[in-house]
Chain A
Amino acid sequence: MEKVVAVIMVGGPTKGTRFRPLSFNTPKPLFPLAGQPMVHHPISACKRIPNLAQIFLIGFYEEREFTLYVSSISNELKIPVRYLKEDKPHGSAGGLYYFRNIIMEDNPSHIFLLNCDVCCSFPLTDMLGNFPVPCKTLYTYQYDSPNINQMLVTVEAHKRYSGMGTVLVSAESANQFGELVADPITKELLHYTEKPETFVSDLINCGVYVFTPDIFTAIQEVSTHREDQANLRHLSSFETLQSPTSRALPQDFVRLDQDILSPFAGKKQLYTYETMDFWEQIKTPGMSLKCSGLYLAQFRYTSPDLLAGGDGTKSASIVGDVYVHPSAKVHPTAKIGPNVSISANVRIGAGVRLIGCIILDDVEVQENAVVINSIVGWKSSIGKWSRVQASSHIYFAGLADAQPYFSRPMETTTQSSELLSLVREAVIVEDEVVVINSIVLPNKTLNVSVQDEIIL
């Protein structure tokens, strides 16, 4: 059997975020969702691919930030997982190309490419199943949103149609994603537009792909073409002014969506696979809460042993899907869930109620406190009878350090479906204080109640 490798793009420290460089002690890919680092979920999915030789994480975070995680996950999965640091951002296609020699070490027949900040069931094997080997298809994986029909572009599609790739796709109405048009019968990718202003299609790019090694040739073509253009432009400074965007891109910066999917659409090179499962992009703290819940729900099928249980006699009452780290101490009179993840060394006191929240390492939640739809940041303390809350359909994070990871600032406007109350690292909420729809930055002590505020 031919080997397969997987590449997970993890990105780098977010630029232009209002809250940087405040206490940025864990890279976003290691932020816990369902009690596991974000990147753990695509890695687990890759592990299920037959004949997987290696997993590469590509990003521009410092290598030391991933050293510990990469070594422990390699041991756990018995599959080599390596972190490859880019010297600078190259774009997702550019990053792949930059490390082509390492990726091709095992001479794989197929290369999976996943973005770390998408949350889905990653039906990777299905994507590969229909891929005729060898072939020249770029597969897109399509994914389904709750309301719309989702589509996953997989290797399954990849094997069935000759081409260089398959794109996982999903049906969504939102226009903040890359939208694409696929042939309803052949599933060929016919057209691709990044974040269009008008309606193009209800299929969106899920950011999960499988390629044949031909992808490297395609990227090289784009890169060479751009170099030629750049040389031409030297002759005309007028034209440079005309197209500032393309001018701004260095020759080795190649985006997968605009630079590969768009030009290769309709050339019998790329196909789509639609997923009917869940799909979300993890851009905001509110989405991280939702995605944590989706992954917890998935554990019911994939890793039921990770989910906590209890009826309030010897251990706490557990409602729905809950993850509790083995080192956390939860009082038997507490009631936890649904959708709660409790990290290492957390102490949950008597009579505490937790609903829809992420409690990060070393947090203490004291007696009778209530935390609802919130993220509570590392080493924070929630006092007795205090309350950190958002209303039921609003995502609300409290006391968390997650904000810097997410490019979109928290909004309290109606246009955003999320309203976050985020309590960050080492925040102390004193006894009986109420925190509603607020973001609390690190190292603050709150002794009065707040609502709809950002506490600097």
Chain B
Amino acid sequence: MKALILVGGFGTRLRPLTLSVPKPLVEFANKPMILHQIEALKAVGVTEVVLAINYQPEVMLNFLKEFETKLGITITCSQETEPLGTAGPLALARDKLVDESGEPFFVLNSDVISEYPFKEMIEFHKAHGGEASIMVTKVDEPSKYGVVVMEESTGQVDKFVEKPKLFVGNKINAGIYLLNPSVLDRIELRPTSIEKEVFPKIAAEKKLYAMVLPGFWMDIGQPRDYITGLRLYLDSLRKKASPKLATGPNIVGNVLVHETAKIGEGCLIGPDVAIGPGCVVESGVRLSRCTVMRGVRIKKHACISSSIIGWHSTVGQWARVENMTILGEDVHVCDEIYSNGGVVLPHKEIKSSILKPEIVM
């Protein structure tokens, strides 16, 4: 089987992290976001992944080369020279996706994190016999999204309603599709939307089916959702009793600590914390609801909550970093500094407190 991952552009919503690496390579729970998807695809027998990308394909390919051999999976890029929307990249990658097997292929939005129940999706697809399957997920505020109106018992999709003012349903497109190759015949090579132009036509022929995604779902394309997504992901690990979760007297709730990270004495870590490789957390540090990327040093008695600490940054002694503070790569927060929602671009030194959320250029 094959899969196409829609990587897209600059990842501006996740800046300043995406100023240093392409968005799919930003670690989520100590693993680049895109590897979560590639590993899940490999597990259900996908042998070739095509990345639809329009920015820095070399960086991506260089990085993914080692995983090709490690995972035994072929990874190629299909580069857009102009933005082609959500359907155009499928037409562009047509030759890579179609082969003599005639098997359906996956299409994933790279920002989406979930338990990736691809096996169930394949079974669902085979069972309904239609042309395309999409995952939908239940949300609290459907008016903010494109709602999928479906027949509840069979999953047959009736229509798509973009940002409905009146309630028509609470299931939204989760950005995970399984499509027969014939769907490609419906897509022209031009900027076009799969939700607005392709799926409605398939739905009209009653060949589009929706499956409610079991487990959690989150679009982690921006910092607040990234932090929420980590909580959901770690909850999911807990339910599976994953041995990856840290244990110990200094751990509260769900915490990931990379095996090469060092944690000092008298710390209190968690809940919902990920500590990356090579990090040094000195004694008396408090971490909660945060991600600490590779090579970070958190000095004594610092306190971090609801924040992302970018690669190789340092947080000084008695510093306080909280409320959606996002530190880019190689940022240094001096001793005793307070950051309330500071968004700091790479390679900066923070010498005075940030009392209100602001961007530090």
Contacts and interface: CB of A to CB of B under 8 A. Distances in A.
Partners in one complex: yes
Interface of A: 333, 335, 350-353, 355, 367-368, 370, 372, 384-385, 387, 389, 391-392, 432, 434, 436-437, 451
B168 interface: no
Contact of A385 (B303, B317, B340, B352): B303
Contact of B322 (A351, A392, A434): A434
30 contacts: A350-B266, A350-B284, A351-B283, A351-B284, A351-B300, A353-B317, A353-B318, A353-B336, A355-B336, A367-B266, A368-B266, A368-B284, A368-B285, A368-B286, A368-B303, A368-B318, A370-B301, A370-B318, A372-B336, A384-B268, A384-B286, A385-B303, A389-B353, A391-B353, A392-B352, A432-B286, A432-B288, A434-B338, A451-B340, A451-B355
B350 to A, nearest CB: 13
A385 B266 contact: no
Nearest to B338: A389
A351 B301 contact: yes
Given A367-B266, A391-B353, A434 B284 contact: no
Contacts of A353: 301, 317-318, 336
Interchain residue pairs A-B with the least CB separation, the first 10: A351-B284, A353-B318, A385-B286, A351-B301, A385-B303, A368-B301, A368-B284, A370-B318, A387-B320, A391-B353
B317 to A, nearest CB: 7
A432 B340 CA distance: 14
Given A350-B284, A353-B317, A387 B303 contact: yes
B314 interface: no
B305 interface: yes
Interface of B: 266, 268, 283-286, 288, 300-301, 303, 305, 317-318, 320, 322, 336, 338, 340, 352-353, 355
B336 A432 contact: no
A322 to B, nearest CB: 16
Contacts of B301: 351-353, 368, 370, 385
B208 to A, nearest CB: 48
A367 B336 contact: no
Contacts of B338: 387, 389, 434, 436
Given A387-B338, A432-B305, A370 B320 contact: yes
Contacts of B318: 335, 353, 368, 370
B68 to A, nearest CB: 44
Contacts of A368: 266, 284-286, 301, 303, 318
B301 to A, nearest CB: 4
A385 B338 CA distance: 12
Nearest to A436: B355
Contacts of A367: 266, 284
B216 to A, nearest CB: 26
A434 B322 CA distance: 10
